[in-house]
Amino acid sequence: MKILRFKLKDETRIGFLSDQKIIPFPSKFGNDIINIIAKWDEIKMEMDSYIGIENEKFDLDETDLLAPIESPSKFLAIGLNYKKHRQETIDAGITPPRNQMWFTKQTSCINSPYGNILKPDATMMLDYEVELAFIIGKKCYQVSADKAQDYIFGYMICNDISMRDWQLHNMPDRLELMIGKSHDSHGPIGPWIVTKDEVEDPHKLKLECFVNGNLRQSSNTDDMIWNCYQQIEYLSNAMTLNPGDIIATGTPPGSGFSPRGASGKADKERKGNVFLEPGDIVIVLEEAHEKALCIGRSIVPTADMLGSSGKAIESIHYVGDEIYHFF
């Protein structure tokens, strides 16, 4: 099932996608997505009988899609978890970590899949990172990798927007992660959650990111160093994971900070780093969702912004755009 949050006529609701139509959940389940996730086993049994007799249906383009999860207890992300991306950092003179390297994206950065992205004056190096994210389905503590799948609710796309210059503030001594990845609006997620029963193998998914129609990142989750289940084992031995927690699983090579192209090989056409500029359009794809997650178009240069919170990127809606549809 593809579960989403949407707004229609100023009302926020939860629904699921069927034949490109949004079908609202029965009102008795409420609008607390984390509560629905926590009680999913019993709710799913009722939903199975509800499908096919529902009355309301809405077209995607008559609604505003919201972040599937608005206020999780945690938004965690792993760094340098793709083999080819790890090699990029070695080539850049950065020593990669020996173990899993985790950081927090502050939950205040969470953004809707088509929300506006802020480019504050404080950064000149705004970057993109396509990632697969998974959502914890039930309370999880000291869970082994072989049992971790039972604790996953579903999967979605995440674009880990990053201010690279802020990550470098303490170099060469230390690479800062949280502070450069938590600005307001820098955590677009969605467009919906694909429940785990519809994802045959989360470690065989194609990931792509386009900027202005140009392929910047192209990889497969089979290039992960630590898979989703190993990530749960590692994290749950350090803390309790709760229903609704978001775990971003790392990005492949090809970000704007990278001297390499989408294949992870040296890109002769690139002239140094390639960061987001006014007018750029970023599109993130992941095949399990069968559509694009679009970040938007930059509309002003950084120098023209007022203060540190001006609107800099205009939302663009690609719902129904066959160019970016997986079949």
- For the stretch 67-112, pLDDT in tens is 999 999 999 999 999 999 998 888 877 788 899 999 999 999 999 9
In 3D space, the residue among 222, 154, 220 whose CA is nearest the CA of residue 190 turns out to be 154
Give mean pLDDT, residues 123-147: 97
- For the stretch 289-301, pLDDT in tens is 555 555 455 555 5
When comparing pLDDT for 262 and 191, which is higher? 191
Structure tokens at 78: 């792993």
Contact residues for 209 (Cβ-Cβ < 8 A; gap 6+): 128, 129, 130, 159, 215, 216, 217, 218, 254, 282, 283, 284, 285
Give mean pLDDT, residues 214-227: 96
* pLDDT at residue 94, rounded to an integer: 78
* pLDDT at residue 266, rounded to an integer: 46
- How far apart are the C-alpha atoms of 190 and 170, rounded to whole Å? 32
pLDDT at residue 126 tops 60: yes
Structure tokens at 4: 């989403």
- How far apart are the C-alpha atoms of 104 and 179, rounded to whole Å? 9
- For the stretch 27-83, pLDDT in tens is 999 999 999 999 999 999 888 778 767 678 999 999 999 999 999 999 999 999 999
Domain 69-324: which CATH number of 3.40.50.12280, 3.90.850.10, 3.40.50.970, 3.30.450.20: 3.90.850.10
Burial class of residue 299 (count of CB atoms within 10 Å of its CB; 0-12, 13-18, 19+): middle
Query: By the 8 A CB rule, do 47 and 18 touch?
Result: no
Band the pLDDT of 125: cuts 50, 70, 90: very high
Q: Name residue 262's beta-bridge partners.
A: none
What is the pLDDT of the chain when averaged over all its residues?
85
Task: Please provide residue 321's backbone torsions phi and psi, each rounded to the nearest 5 degrees.
Answer: -75, 110
In 3D space, the residue among 222, 195, 187, 188 whose CA is nearest the CA of residue 206 turns out to be 222
Structure tokens at 162: 């990053």
- Domain ranges (residues) in the chain: 1-66, 69-324
